[in-house]
Structure 1
Amino acid sequence: MSNSPYIQTANEPFDAIVVGSGITGGWAAKELTEKGLKTLLVERGQAVEHRKDYVGEGVKAWDMPQRGRVDKKRVDEQHSIQQECYAFNDATKQFFGNDRDYPYQQEKPFSWIRGNAFGGKSLLWHRQSYRWSDLDFAANQKDGHGVDWPIRYKDVAPWYSYVEKHAGISGSRENLAVLPDSEFLPAFEFNQVEKDIKKRIEKRYQDRKMIIGRCAHLSEPAQHHVEQGRYKCMARNECQKGCSFGAYFSTQSSTLPAALKTGNLSIATDSVVHSVIYDDKTNRVTGVRVIDAETLETREYYAKVVFLCASTLGTTQIMLNSKSDAFPTGIANSSGALGHYLMDHLYGVGATADVEGFHDAYYKGRRPTGIYIPRFRNVEKQDANFLRGYSFAGNARRDSWQSLANGPLFGLDLKEKIRNAGDWHFRMNCSGEMLPHYDNHVRLHDKQTDKWGIPQLIMHCERRENEEKMIADIAKTSVEMLESIGLKNVKSFNNPYTPGLAIHEVGTARMGRDPKTSVLNGYNQSHDIPNLFVTDGASFASSAWQNPSLTFMALTARACDYAANALNRGEI
């Protein structure tokens, strides 16, 4: 008898079904199985085994067929959108969605970056991990844009601590109200130039701090991390290829081993969820309809509770496609909010500068994080001509031999130049908040489908007046900051990313206090259907300015605790 958790068919219903195996799906699987629930984790992509299937890990560029680049013809045919992602290359392409099989319509430009393997985008993310504060959770109520979050920082704080201890977050304690501290592993170090720039910025600006970026890396693993089979980060910065050390947080390295340890987990890969099954007599979801990714055969899985964790737009597509007499516009959509209020962060605006001197200062390794300047606009008071705010991330670095790859030197001149590190440079790039707007939305196409017959999504998302004003301030302020601290050759860049390319899309099945204007309550539970939960980015009522993944984790763990207790009490 096989002990493999992988299944195709199931004769008995499960206690819980989790759709999606990325950051939120992995956490849901861990939490529900540890609470004793027999759980099925459904993933549309292929199976990926930790260590074994990281085929690009440790492979040098010169040992790869195209030196790490992907075949142009294949990119055009299969990854026309995915190639826009910073993490896409010949060593990582197997973890991305295939744009040929997963088409969608762009009414307004939107780059939908999709994981398509077990582990989802937890294998590909950039691992920056920040708590929100009440400045963020109360923002909608304060300025009237979007519905009020039904939770506040105090509701999420203990769950932040809970997931941080398990995942492992490195960072420094700063005691900043705008950016609460986490449960930290030791922080990665600034290099010498960053230390100097930090002093200059904080001396010049009383309202601004420059800190080390907080990231989900084991700088110094705790004993429970070692027991998970995880080890110290080696500062290779090849994380998206997969990390056999388990040094960065992913489903494979962290939550999956915990879930498997319980003996309560089953896994169905290559299983494309078509829709959620709904029983109008009991007003309960009873399971999911699945199409086999390879054979196109259909099957159904049943459970007492369903968690949708398929990514913001993946979950929304499933919900919109789950229609019935009770919910003709998509399951749990009595409010009409499903698919609306799509948001993504503002990226691609900031400044660069040259740093004089420091030619005797070196660093080693490829640190997996950089500097971070938390939000300082509209914090204590409204001090800008736009609402909300933004942060900066970046680093100081020296020119390396790689910078000479396309230069004019060759022969002895190149050999001499390549012996020495070059000059220092500093870069800072923004992460700005987008307001929730009803017209920023996705909907199903009434004719076009994908390979599996599922209606394609139509994307309509654009920056509005508030975002444009914020972008202008970011461009101006970044230059002013670097010039004011004495850096040279300061240059702005103002190339805002196409929506979607920040890969922080949220908001299309939002939380709220009122069932008439929101899809979910404060526990990520459907207002309409008590045994349906959504814990990925679709649940967000606003985007804030911080990377969202740590909040994904905390809200998922919190929702699982609530669901398991409600299930035991017979309430759902």
Structure 2
Amino acid sequence: MNLNIDSIKATTYDAIVVGSGISGGWAAKELTEKGLKVLMLERGEDIKHIEGYKTAMTDPWQFPHRGRVTSEIAEEQAVQARTGYTVSEATSYLFVNDKENPYLEDKRFDWMRGYHTGGRSLMWGRQSYRLGDLDFEANIKEGVGADWPIRYKDISPWYDYVEKFIGVSGSRDGLPQLPDGQFQPPMEMYCLEKHVKGEVEKKFKERTITIGRVAHITKATPQQSALGRAQCQYRNLCSRGCPFGAYFSTQSATLPAAMKTKNLTLRPHSIVTSVIYDEAKKKATGVRVLDQLTKEELTFNAKIIFLCASSMASTYILMNSTSNRFPNGLGNESGVLGHYVMDHHFRVGASGTYEGFGDKYYYGRRANGIYVPRFRNLPGQEKRDYLRGFGYQGGASRMNWGRGTATEGFGASFKDEMTKPGPWVMNLGGFGECLPYFENKVVIDKSKTDKYGLPVLRFDAEFKENEMKMRKDMGNDAAEMLETAGLKNVTKNDNGSWPGLGIHEMGTARMGNDPKQSVLNKFNQVHSVKNVFCTDGAFMVSASCVNPSLTYMAMTARAASYAVQELKRQNL
């Protein structure tokens, strides 16, 4: 008996955090700094800051295949590679092996994953924008989906809190549809971007072009310097990991902060399969884990549990946590768990060339672009034939020697010409909001298993008529702005978009005031299991049209603060 008690004590913590990505890192930091003993469970390997970034300092000519997608990568990582993203010789080790970690698609769904410490915080695009009341109130005003249980005033101080810690460079623009934040000095726009900004804003009073708000340090604070972080070096090799700690990641920021407290235990190679629910206590007591290396099944116990494994992975865990009380998944009395899959649709916009600024260039490789905040369907405007809106990301550059592949010429004079910068080009790519649809869903399918014998997820989601109508404006408006600024050869493009491709999958365990229509309450608690929290993208009620990671961070910090207060009050 004593041995069993000792064993339980050795595997018992104040809190368990499942996942070590953007949300998991924040949960660990906040809970440990508030005095809790925390176990962080990561299903993949432990990638160490700096030393773990295998290719961060590798020159192009040092790659055997010059960084390309090899046939082996294309075979082993077919889903990751088919997207055209940076899954290459330089970065493939950060993405999952699709053969070992399969999933099923009724309709195309591009599930981009990184199973390692830091998760996708090592690969994310770092664009950091706030949702505003335009987003929080859209559902209730339009009769779509369910109402958000919070408003901007509830989350605004938490946005302040996380922005100061992570370091967001950006410009304050005073736009109600894109609330300003706590910014470090903005990166500079290029000459053509400034020109386009001036011409567009002169003609279209409702349109603004600004520099992207990005989680890159441009002027380190003492708190950031103390964690070993420095300002951005303008290398633009972010997808390989940042040894300077300039961009925000779990490894560079939240994990060192949590480790400083000596309250954190990180356990990699730990696949959480389900949450353990105690019928008598009417709460969760821990999680079941499959050790990735030994295949041993383990149990870890805690007073509170934070699910931060990523939207779909956390939803999987909840759906797989069945009991007499919850036969359809933990907290799934509403039946909405797994439904309302959302993502942003994109890969539509315009590009063009500019005949000017031939005497100007730019210094370094800015790891950022420009941003055009939403300007359609704003309050007081004439309504379009679709709901919600979109923003643009993009930028200007000068064409390099690569243009020679499609240019006539040969010999010494041709080679000499290719050593000079080509003309300026600029592109605008739209990011549009997807509405929450009940029929867009994900389920566990036991007909197929992964490398570890676990059943996989099956996706059935698509963009619908509202998104298709929006895409027409996304292409037309982009071309209109470039033409207004005098660009030539302006070409609209629409290369198609599928859920998952935006890597902003969300919404499958949404929050709400009504337990009959939602899984979580306004503090990210499972309605009927108060000591379980979910703070990754699964909680989202609507998608907005901005990148969501900053919201995940703010909501995680808020939920962690609430959880500790409730724990002290013995309500958990």
Fold conserved between structures, TM > 0.5: yes
Do 1:311 and 1:538's aligned partners in 2 also have CA atoms closer than 8 Å? yes
Question: How far apart, CA to CA, are the structure 2 residues paired with 1:127 and 1:322?
Answer: 33
Do 2:69 and 2:81's aligned partners in 1 also have CA atoms closer than 8 Å? no
- Secondary structure at 1:553 match in 2: helix
Q: Which residue of 2 aligns with 1:424?
A: 424
- Secondary structure at 2:525 match in 1: coil
Q: Which residue of 2 aligns with 1:552?
A: 552
> Aligned pair in 2 of structure 1 residues 273, 410: CA closer, same or farther (>3 Å)?
farther
Q: Which residue of 2 aligns with 1:136?
A: 135
Matched, 1:403 2:386: no
Do 2:282 and 2:529's aligned partners in 1 also have CA atoms closer than 8 Å? yes
Matched, 1:463 2:463: yes
Q: Which residue of 1 aligns with 2:20?
A: 21
> Aligned pair in 2 of structure 1 residues 9, 41: CA closer, same or farther (>3 Å)?
farther
Aligned length: 565
* 1:473 CA displacement: 1.6
Matched, 1:540 2:540: yes
Q: Which residue of 2 aligns with 1:567?
A: 567
Q: Which residue of 2 aligns with 1:63?
A: 62
Do 1:310 and 1:536's aligned partners in 2 also have CA atoms closer than 8 Å? yes
> Aligned pair in 2 of structure 1 residues 80, 375: CA closer, same or farther (>3 Å)?
closer
Instruction: Write out aligned runs for 1:321-400 (5 A).
Output: 321-381=320-380, 382-400=382-400
Any gaps of 5 or more consecutive residues in structure 1? Answer: 1-7
* 1:98 CA displacement: 1.3
* 1:407 CA displacement: 5.2
Any gaps of 5 or more consecutive residues in structure 2? Answer: 1-6
* 1:400 CA displacement: 1.3
Question: How far apart, CA to CA, are the structure 1 residues paired with 2:306 and 2:332?
Answer: 16
- Secondary structure at 2:526 match in 1: coil
Q: Which residue of 2 aligns with 1:415?
A: 415
1:154 partner amino acid? K
Q: Which residue of 2 aligns with 1:37?
A: 36
Q: Which residue of 1 aligns with 2:3?
A: none
Matched, 1:77 2:76: yes
Q: Which residue of 1 aligns with 2:224?
A: 225
Question: How far apart, CA to CA, are the structure 1 residues paired with 2:410 and 2:118?
Answer: 44
Q: Which residue of 2 aligns with 1:5?
A: none
1:295 partner amino acid? T
1:463 partner amino acid? F
* 1:408 CA displacement: 5.2
* 1:512 CA displacement: 0.7
- Secondary structure at 1:224 match in 2: helix
The Cα offsets for residues 325-370 of structure 1, whole Å up to 9 and x where unpaired, read as 1111111101101000000001100000111111011101110111
- Secondary structure at 1:353 match in 2: strand
Do 1:45 and 1:116's aligned partners in 2 also have CA atoms closer than 8 Å? yes
More off after superposition, 363-372 vs 160-169: 363-372
> Aligned pair in 2 of structure 1 residues 10, 25: CA closer, same or farther (>3 Å)?
farther
More off after superposition, 66-75 vs 22-31: 66-75
Question: How far apart, CA to CA, are the structure 1 residues paired with 2:413 and 2:22?
Answer: 48
2:142 partner amino acid? D
* 1:123 CA displacement: 0.2
* 1:406 CA displacement: 6.4
Question: How far apart, CA to CA, are the structure 1 residues paired with 2:328 and 2:157?
Answer: 36
1:235 partner amino acid? Y
Q: Which residue of 1 aligns with 2:100?
A: 101
Do 2:195 and 2:485's aligned partners in 1 also have CA atoms closer than 8 Å? no
Q: Which residue of 1 aligns with 2:287?
A: 288
Do 1:16 and 1:305's aligned partners in 2 also have CA atoms closer than 8 Å? yes
Q: Which residue of 2 aligns with 1:452?
A: 452
RMSD: 1.4
Do 2:274 and 2:289's aligned partners in 1 also have CA atoms closer than 8 Å? yes
Instruction: Write out aligned runs for 1:123-522 (5 A).
Output: 123-381=122-380, 382-404=382-404, 409-522=409-522
* 1:479 CA displacement: 1.8
Q: Which residue of 2 aligns with 1:47?
A: 46
Do 2:11 and 2:299's aligned partners in 1 also have CA atoms closer than 8 Å? no
Question: How far apart, CA to CA, are the structure 2 residues paired with 1:342 and 1:80?
Answer: 19
Do 1:85 and 1:501's aligned partners in 2 also have CA atoms closer than 8 Å? no
Question: How far apart, CA to CA, are the structure 1 residues paired with 2:569 and 2:86?
Answer: 45
* 1:453 CA displacement: 2.2
More off after superposition, 242-251 vs 417-426: 417-426
Question: How far apart, CA to CA, are the structure 1 residues paired with 2:201 and 2:63?
Answer: 45
* 1:569 CA displacement: 0.6
- Secondary structure at 1:442 match in 2: strand
* 1:530 CA displacement: 0.3
> Aligned pair in 2 of structure 1 residues 249, 10: CA closer, same or farther (>3 Å)?
farther
TM-score w.r.t. length of structure 2: 0.97
The Cα offsets for residues 266-287 of structure 1, whole Å up to 9 and x where unpaired, read as 0110111111111111111111
* 1:172 CA displacement: 0.7
Do 1:128 and 1:213's aligned partners in 2 also have CA atoms closer than 8 Å? yes
* 1:403 CA displacement: 3.3
Do 1:85 and 1:113's aligned partners in 2 also have CA atoms closer than 8 Å? no
Do 1:204 and 1:485's aligned partners in 2 also have CA atoms closer than 8 Å? no
Question: How far apart, CA to CA, are the structure 1 residues paired with 2:349 and 2:69?
Answer: 29
The Cα offsets for residues 166-225 of structure 1, whole Å up to 9 and x where unpaired, read as 000000111111111110000000111111111000001000000000000011111211
* 1:566 CA displacement: 0.3
The Cα offsets for residues 424-451 of structure 1, whole Å up to 9 and x where unpaired, read as 1110000100000000000011321212
Do 2:310 and 2:538's aligned partners in 1 also have CA atoms closer than 8 Å? yes
The Cα offsets for residues 258-317 of structure 1, whole Å up to 9 and x where unpaired, read as 000000000110111111111111111111111111221111111000000000111111
Question: How far apart, CA to CA, are the structure 1 residues paired with 2:406 and 2:13?
Answer: 57
Question: How far apart, CA to CA, are the structure 1 residues paired with 2:479 and 2:70?
Answer: 38
The Cα offsets for residues 59-99 of structure 1, whole Å up to 9 and x where unpaired, read as 01111111112321343134443552523111211111111
> Aligned pair in 2 of structure 1 residues 83, 55: CA closer, same or farther (>3 Å)?
farther
Question: How far apart, CA to CA, are the structure 1 residues paired with 2:62 and 2:36?
Answer: 46
1:81 partner amino acid? Q
Question: How far apart, CA to CA, are the structure 1 residues paired with 2:270 and 2:564?
Answer: 25
- Secondary structure at 1:194 match in 2: helix
- Aligned sequence identity (%): 49
1:127 partner amino acid? R
Question: How far apart, CA to CA, are the structure 1 residues paired with 2:277 and 2:511?
Answer: 21
- Secondary structure at 1:530 match in 2: strand
Do 1:202 and 1:210's aligned partners in 2 also have CA atoms closer than 8 Å? yes
1:437 partner amino acid? Y
The Cα offsets for residues 222-280 of structure 1, whole Å up to 9 and x where unpaired, read as 12111110001001010111111000000000000000000000011011111111111
- Secondary structure at 2:10 match in 1: coil
Question: How far apart, CA to CA, are the structure 1 residues paired with 2:547 and 2:9?
Answer: 37
- Secondary structure at 2:530 match in 1: coil
Q: Which residue of 2 aligns with 1:119?
A: 118
Q: Which residue of 2 aligns with 1:4?
A: none
Question: How far apart, CA to CA, are the structure 2 residues paired with 1:72 and 1:561?
Answer: 48
2:493 partner amino acid? F
- Secondary structure at 1:81 match in 2: helix
Question: How far apart, CA to CA, are the structure 2 residues paired with 1:517 and 1:127?
Answer: 32
More off after superposition, 466-475 vs 343-352: 466-475
Do 2:73 and 2:81's aligned partners in 1 also have CA atoms closer than 8 Å? no
Question: How far apart, CA to CA, are the structure 2 residues paired with 1:452 and 1:10?
Answer: 28
1:133 partner amino acid? G
1:492 partner amino acid? K
Question: How far apart, CA to CA, are the structure 2 residues paired with 1:69 and 1:420?
Answer: 25
Do 1:288 and 1:302's aligned partners in 2 also have CA atoms closer than 8 Å? yes
Question: How far apart, CA to CA, are the structure 1 residues paired with 2:174 and 2:325?
Answer: 49
* 1:553 CA displacement: 0.4
Do 1:319 and 1:331's aligned partners in 2 also have CA atoms closer than 8 Å? yes
* 1:12 CA displacement: 3.8
Question: How far apart, CA to CA, are the structure 1 residues paired with 2:87 and 2:517?
Answer: 38
* 1:410 CA displacement: 4.6
